[in-house]
Structure formats: C-alpha cells, structure tokens
Structure 1
Amino acid sequence: MTIEVTEIIRRFEQGYTSPYLCNCNDGKQYVVKGLDATYEGLIKEWVCANIGIQFGLPIPKPVIIHVPSIFSQFGENPSLTIGDCFGSTYVSGLSEILYSQLDKLDTQTMLDLYAFDYWIKNADRSLSPLGGNPNFFIDMQTKAAVVVDHNLAFDTSFSINNHKQLHIASRFWNIEQPRMFDRSIYEPKFDDALKGFDECIKYIPDVWLDNLVPEDGFLNQLRLTLTAYTQAEFWEGLK
C-alpha cells in the first residue's frame, strides 16, 4: 500500500528542513520532510535511517510518503512538497536532550552513536555546555532515546577533530579511550548495516534520483564513504 498524507496537522518549529506532522492513510502519524531538505538530503535521510536501524540505533522507522496534489491548495500554503517525501514514524512526548542529562544515558548506545556518525560523516549532532544541535530526543514516558535527522550526513568537509570535541557522545568515547578492540567490535556492525544499503536504495523514488547530476555518481559516493571502514586509515580517526 502506498502511504499517503490525509491530513497536515502542523509544522514543527525546530529544523530548517520544515518537517510537518501528518496523518496518513495507514492510520499512523509521521514526521514528513519535502524538498526543503533537498533531493540529496532526502536520500541521505532514507539511507541513514535504514542502515542506522540495522546498526542498532533507536531511529524511528523511515517510510516513503506521498503527498497528494490536493494539498497544494492547503490554506496555510505549506512548503511541504507535493509528491514523494521522506517520512519517519512519529513518536509523541519527546523532549530534546539537555547537556545535564547526558550522564543518565546508556553508555553503549552513545558509543554506538559516536561510531555511526563518524562512519556516515555526520557533523550535525553536537552538544556542549554552551548548547548545540543534538538531534537527539528522550521519550518522556519510557525514557528511551530517539535519534533523528541525517540530511547533512556524508559531509565532504567532515572534521575528525570537531567530531572528537563537539559530538554529543564525544565525552563517552573519549572517557572510554584508549580501547584495544574497537575494530573487532564495530567492523561486524558496519558489515551488517551495510548489507541493507543495496536493498534500501531500490526504494528511493525515481524523482529524487532523476534530479541528481549524475545519479550514479552520488550513490557511488555514498557507497565509497560507507566502505571506508575496510581501510586502516578509517580506524585511525577513531583513536
């Protein structure tokens, strides 16, 4: 069944990608992003959410959502794109993590998040005593972590030094170092997560790919980044 928006509820204040909370024809609610995230950004969201879940991170389930043309007449003229958009399952009752709450988080989850964002070259998850943009939430009922937003992953200007200093999980990683067995722990996790790459790109909407120049070059660049862990240099950056 094609998942379609049946009601646009509201726009979220957070996020320059203009996400909207929507009801859909499967009876569920989703956070929906359109072209404010760009075609490249939508593909990055889709790929990273799929492989991130396979990696073991608490990322809401991603879906491709169709926004019918009737919403082009929506009274408030939303910037939500008509056509195929990226959606993630809505989790209610979330609160953005505060720096003072970091010590209460599961250490292994944070170590995994640090390694994952290093792998996908995602610099868009920072937090320090002075603030930041963590893209990390806590379910206030279950106290479970929820990780979102990967449209800026695969950053060609990604800085390892900034990652070590500013990433939300850097304090966990730095405290735990030096560890001798990072590669033996994480290489199998990268292997397992990467197995989902070819499958998930099969479902990328044609319109997203058709607007990339060149299409194959972009996907190949993503694949090149994701296979970098097979090289010794990759692991030097995790030390």
Structure 2
Amino acid sequence: MSKPKERTIQLKALEYLKAYYSDKFSIALTRIDSTDERWTKKERGGKRADGLICFEKEGKPYTISLEAKSHKTLGALISYSNDKKFGLHCLIVSCIMTSITILALISFTSLRWYFITPITLAAFVVLLILAAAIFEVLDLDRHKVTNVINQLKQYPANEQWIAYSKHTDNLLLKSPFLKRRNNLDTLEKLCRANNFGLLLVTNKTCLVRINPVPKKGEFLHYYCKEQEILKAISVQTILQE
C-alpha cells in the first residue's frame, strides 16, 4: 500500500469537509468557498493553513480551518513534555507545601529561626522532587504538547480540524509516549482539550475520529482575501436565490 503524500491528504480532507458541512447545514456546495493553503494576514502572524472553508450561517461568515499531516511529518503529531509548565506546576506545589510547613513549625514548635531556615530549605527541595515524581506518575495531559496543536491554534476559525493518514495512524499507535500509552491516545485527548476535530484520511474515504466544538464569533478577518471570500459567498447566495 502506497503512503499518501501530505498534499493528497490535504485535498481529500478539504473535499470531504466541504461535503460534510454542506450536508450538516443543508447548504449547496456552490454556496461554500473552499480553498487550500490560505494565509492569515501579516498582522495576524502570516501563517499558512492547509485549508479554509467558509460559508454564510445566520447571516455571518462561518469558517473552518484545516491542518493536514502525513507520515513524513509524523513528528508534529507526537507528544512531548512541556517542561516549562511541568516545572512551574512543580514549583507552585512545592512552594505551597513549604509555606504550610513553615506555618506548622512556627505554630506548633518553639524552634528558632536558624533551625527553621535549613529545615525549610530541605523541605522545599524534597517537596519539589516529590511533586515532580507525582506528576510524572500521573502523566497529566496538561503537561504535554504537540506541534500540530500549536500550528492549528495559529489558524483561528469557528471549527478547526487536524487531518492525517491511516498509515500515520498506525505509526502513532506503535509509538508510546514515555513508554506508557500510545501517541494517538494523547493526540485525541489534546484535541478534545482544545476543542479540535480529528479526521482520519484513508485511501477510500475519511473517518471522523473527533468532532470539533464550534466557537462563537467571526474569524474570517484573520485571513487574506477576506473581501474576496465575502463577495464569493454573497454572490453565490444571490445566484442560488
């Protein structure tokens, strides 16, 4: 079985999502603007989304952004630890527990400050190590990040999707995060946490793994050719009427 290129995944996903939203909202395909490789405006970061779909919903533009990945960009789907957040949470926990220790020593003992100080420092170090060990065992998703999640955050939309191939799906299942659970489980949990959709692209069809949670607001103004898109969906609406 040949491994699909990222471009193939991108176009298949875009075609599927266009039909998906046409059916979901009972909108004619001709009233949906669908473009691959749509750039955000320079003042919005100048980032390139792999796809942008736009149509009129309740009198306002409704947008869907897409980020596609293949086996060649597998690394963007694999999770890694967010050391800054992990360290910050360990520090916060150890500071809180150390403060409680200090209050307990002052309230319930008659120790002098020159005894309390070294005890406090030792307690802080021990608690810091203990907090790190506990967080490591708990394996919290809030301490994990993936590049694809960070990428998709740069393409604001009412609904946001990550598309990837079946071959990539198999690779994710075989690659555990820190020898615990596979990266696909972690990716799915991160998608749910960020309200992103997850679309599996096979040779024959596309399968929705996770549905995105819609966001309120208008996001088309983040992208280049905003007026062109508005004109297109407006003109198409008039033609349909």
Measured against the shorter chain, the TM-score band is: under 0.3
Q: TM-score, normalising length from structure 2?
A: 0.26
With a CA cutoff of 8 Å and minimum separation of 6, indicate the structure with the bigger relative contact order.
2
Which has the larger share of helix? 2
Larger radius of gyration: 2
